[in-house]
Structure formats: C-alpha cells, structure tokens
Amino acid sequence: MTPVNGIEVCVETFGERTDPPLLLIAGGASSMDWWEDEFCRRLAAGERFVIRYDHRDTGRSTSFPAGAPPYSGVDLARDALGVLDALGVPRAHLVGLALGGVLAQRIAVERPHRALSLTLMSTGPHPVGPSPAAADWSHRRTAVDCMAARLREAGGPFTADLPQLRRLAERVYDRTRDMTATQTNHWLIDAGPPVRPRLGEITVPTLVMHGTLDRLYPAPRALTEEIPGARLVWLEGVGHEFPPTAVWSQVIEEITKPT
C-alpha cells in the first residue's frame, strides 16, 4: 500500500528495478488481478520492471461510496502517474487495456515526458462501459458467478473456462474492499477533456493490439489513423478481454520489442 494523490493504492512489482519500467493499467472496474501473475512474471522475464496496481475503487485501494465517486477520469490518470512517482520512476512503458488504454492516451498527450511507449489494447479514444448487470455484488457467490459469466460472454474461443474464471473472480472478490463500488463507480465518472483531438500530438512509439472478436470496441481505426506511426497487431480469436493464455507469447513478444 502506498499513498497516492491523497488516497491509498495497492501496488505490486515484478522483476528487476534496473530494467526498463512497464506500467500495466487495467480496464474499468478491474483490479490488478486481471493482469495474471504468470503473465506479469513472463513480461518481467523479457527484461522489464513490471508494475501493476489497483485503481481506486478496485482491489485493496481506497474505495468510495457506491454511486457517488468524488473523482474523474483525469484523477485515474493521475493515479497512474502517482504510482510511478511513489516508485521513483520518471518514465515508463505504458500498457493500458480498455479504460486503461484511455488513461494511457491521456498521459501521453498531457504528460508526454512520462511515457516511453504506448501499448493500447482493446480500447479507443474514449471509454466505453459494459451494460449494467443486475447483480447483488455484496453476495460473494452471486458476484463471482456474474463476473465469470460476463468475462466468458465478452471473450472468444481462447477465453478460460468458467471454473478457471470463477477462481480468478473469487480472488478478485476476496481482495476487494467494496465490490458494489467497483462495479458501479467507474461508469459514473466524468471522463475529462476528450483526448481524441490531441492524438496527433503523441510522439512515442505506439502499439495497438485488438482482438478480432472484440464486440465492445469497434476496430481501432481512430488510434491507428490519428496517432503518428501507430502499429496495429490483430489478436486472432480474442474478444474484449485481458490477454488469454493462448496469446501470451504473441502479446509479450510485441510489447517487449525494442522501440
């Protein structure tokens, strides 16, 4: 746990501090657990100092009353920078998925000196939230079943089976201070000033990775056409999800390519 911007944020690192730092920024309503342990270890084996953290209102980080988040998308981006500050990291490779990708874009246009490169996964220039799920998030079994079912529905043929997804969802639930707040608050916040008009200002190497079966975000045309030099890599058979095990080798190889 570390103080960041007046709150407490849970942070975990993998690898050697002397390696180039890489910050994993999870999607909306997602704790760092969805960047799976073994995925992080393999990234670190690619000579990266890997950093993952719980957004506010997820995991062990500070939680706010469900339905009344006193922060914005700009604050979430500042939290990412606050994590780097707490670790004494001036610049990092930023890897963001879904909402995390939007936050990474904001950092790249508003604090360009903090980004070494961008990897934007399953995302676009503005956040898109899931359809609200009518679930009792305070009830462990109900919440776990709902999380696992939503992940399976959003995925593809490489998505883990329901028993494995339930095990991961159980870990997430048991680490989370307030699951109702997690599943509610990120979708209520003001995203902040739009970043799309400034995508042309991004100068760091940018990799766009997108699943061919992603139904939540359309093809990432805005990112690939408006970010100078952006490189697109399709993930065949992947939906709107954190990278499934079957594509880890491809994803890690792309992320750790020299820039």
- The amino acid present at 27, given as its one-letter code, is G
**Tens of pLDDT along 151-208?**
999 999 999 999 999 999 999 999 999 999 999 999 999 999 999 999 999 999 999 9
C-alpha R_g of the chain: 17
Q: Is 165 exposed, middle or buried (0-12, 13-18, 19+ CB in 10 A)?
A: buried
Q: Give the C-alpha separation, 24 to 97, whole Å.
A: 8
Model pLDDT, residue 132? 62
**What's the predicted TM-score (pTM) here?**
0.97
pLDDT above 70 covers a percentage of the chain that reads: 98
Model pLDDT, residue 15? 98
Model pLDDT, residue 135? 82
Model pLDDT, residue 133? 67
Model pLDDT, residue 53? 99
DSSP letter string, 140-205 = HHHHHHHHHHHHHHH--TTSPPHHHHHHHHHHHHHH-S-HHHHTTGGGTS---S-SGGGGGG--S-
Question: Tokens 């790249």 map to which residue?
Answer: 108
Q: In what helix (H) or strand (E) does residue 84 lie, and over which residues does it extend?
A: helix 73-86
* Cβ-contact 95, 117 below 8 angstroms: no
Model pLDDT, residue 147? 95
Count CB neighbours of 2 within 10 A.
Answer: 15
Domains and CATH numbers, the chain: 2-255 (3.40.50.1820)
CA 66 to chain centre: 21
Regions of the chain with pLDDT less than 50? none
